[in-house]
Amino acid sequence: VGVNLKAIVTDAPHGGVWLREINEPVEHGDVLVQTVYTGVCGTDRGIVSGSLEFARKQEGFDYLVLGHECVGRVVESRNSSLKEGDFVVPVATMPGGCMNCHIGRPDYCSDGDFRAAGVYRKNGYMRSYFREDSDHLIRVPDPSLSLIAVLTEPLKNVMKVVDLLSLLGYRCITTAPGSTYSGKRALIIGTGPEALLFSRVFCDMGFHVIAVNRHDIGEKHRKLIEKSGAFFVDYSRDKLDGMEFDVAVDTSGDPSAVVYCIRKMARNGILFLFGTNGRAPAYGITGTDIDRVVEYNIAIAGSVDGGRVHYEKALRKLHEWYMQDRDSVRSLITAIRKPEDLDVFRFKEEGEIKSVIEW
């Protein structure tokens, strides 16, 4: 490994994006990893546009290396369970000193002293190489998964929500008479990669899933949703009148969508908020909305990130999907780009679901 690395960097929190050579940083960790694929997501674009105010550089650096969705290949390892050539997914969030961090759940960090690769106080994976502690690397069980494993990081968010749903299931009976979710209804706001991952996981759990957006989506996109067993509805046209949902997930971060969800929840319904969009316009929540939340025992849970346990469940889920039908999961990745194609951070291509950079 040479002294200089190619890296995609930004000037957090001010934004901008550059491909530049950086000096290899001195990093701790028993494993040297060559980056293979990194995914691009809304958070990356938010950092680049300067709209993500909590983005921060790593201490001692005058740039932040982007990238938190990553698959790499082990180049050197001093850990016996990882060997040269293994594909790995890094766990992007590093614990700080609070009690939740201490028990391996920095996604529930209680004091903000965690670090998140590519976002907050830690350089990310959009560079030729990185060194990492084996505790933060998850082995990809099969090389044929090396590309789709880049979806592990976004899918782990879904797996945390599934855990939360299971906990909230102890509140009261929310299953159908046969003890399953069969026939219960789930509403997913959005049709981006997170929304599609939520849709498919909820279909797998037996929910009747409707994914919605405020505009029509392309034929290919719609087919992908239907392949996972869900339905698409353009809810700017079909208001889903008379329908109520037992579970809903907002991936848009848009206040008007969140309020729409509240109005669609069934008794004892659970609404998960996952999407963020600080710049979305405010929307009026009414007294009647609050009444509904109260009278119907509605639970609304914000959920960010996930623990290592959720990365592992996500990778296993991707493996399962890949074996069921490799095309449907592969087709979530709509473009493979070169590190030089910095436009991917500024524009969302027509029909894009997930764009990936190949290193």
Site for its own copies in 240-269 (CB under 8 A): 250, 253-255, 258-259, 266-268
The residue (of 73 and 313) whose beta carbon lies closer to its own copies is 313
CB neighbours of residue 325 within 10 Å: 12
Between the two ends of the chain, the Cα-to-Cα distance in Å is: 15
Alpha carbons 129 and 5: distance in angstroms, whole number: 7
The residue (of 309 and 342) whose beta carbon lies closer to its own copies is 309
Choosing from 14, 59, 60, 173, the residue that interacts with its own copies (CB under 8 A) is 173
Q: Does 346 bind its own copies (CB under 8 A)?
A: no
Instruction: Write the CB contacts of 231 (distance below 8 Å, at least 6 apart in sequence).
Output: 209, 210, 211, 225
Alpha carbons 1 and 74: distance in angstroms, whole number: 12
Choosing from 2, 60, 177, 242, the residue that interacts with its own copies (CB under 8 A) is 177
Alpha carbons 26 and 129: distance in angstroms, whole number: 12
Q: Does 179 bind its own copies (CB under 8 A)?
A: yes
Q: How far is the CB of 165 from its own copies (least distance, A)?
A: 12
Q: Does 233 bind its own copies (CB under 8 A)?
A: no
Binders of its own copies in range 180-199 (CB under 8 A): 180, 182
Choosing from 293, 334, 342, 352, the residue that interacts with its own copies (CB under 8 A) is 293
Choosing from 109, 126, 150, 201, the residue that interacts with its own copies (CB under 8 A) is 109
The residue (of 305 and 357) whose beta carbon lies closer to its own copies is 305
Q: How far is the CB of 91 from its own copies (least distance, A)?
A: 8
Q: Does 56 bind its own copies (CB under 8 A)?
A: no
Q: How far is the CB of 35 from its own copies (least distance, A)?
A: 22
Alpha carbons 217 and 115: distance in angstroms, whole number: 36
The residue (of 142 and 340) whose beta carbon lies closer to its own copies is 142
Q: Segment near its own copies (CB under 8 A), from 28-36, 94-102, 186-194, 339-347?
A: 94-102
Structure tokens of 249? Answer: 């997930």
Choosing from 145, 165, 249, 298, the residue that interacts with its own copies (CB under 8 A) is 298
Confirm if 321 and 224 have CB atoms less than 8 A apart: no
The residue (of 6 and 316) whose beta carbon lies closer to its own copies is 316
Give burial (CB, 10 Å; 0-12/13-18/19+) of 90. Answer: buried
Q: Does 49 bind its own copies (CB under 8 A)?
A: no
Choosing from 1, 99, 243, 336, the residue that interacts with its own copies (CB under 8 A) is 99
Alpha carbons 273 and 353: distance in angstroms, whole number: 20
Report whether the peptide linkage leading into residue 141 is cis, meaning its omega lies within 30 degrees of zero: no
Binders of its own copies in range 128-167 (CB under 8 A): 135, 164, 166-167
Q: Does 229 bind its own copies (CB under 8 A)?
A: no
CB neighbours of residue 344 within 10 Å: 22
- HEC string for 90-145: ECCEECCCCHHHHCCCHHHCCCCCCEEECCEEECCCCECEEEECHHHEEECCCHHH
Q: Does 204 bind its own copies (CB under 8 A)?
A: yes
Confirm if 274 and 249 have CB atoms less than 8 A apart: yes
The residue (of 4 and 297) whose beta carbon lies closer to its own copies is 297
The residue (of 4 and 180) whose beta carbon lies closer to its own copies is 180
Q: Segment near its own copies (CB under 8 A), from 60-68, 213-221, 316-324, 339-347?
A: 316-324
Binders of its own copies in range 267-286 (CB under 8 A): 267-268, 273-286
SS3 assignment, position 161: helix
Alpha carbons 228 and 331: distance in angstroms, whole number: 12
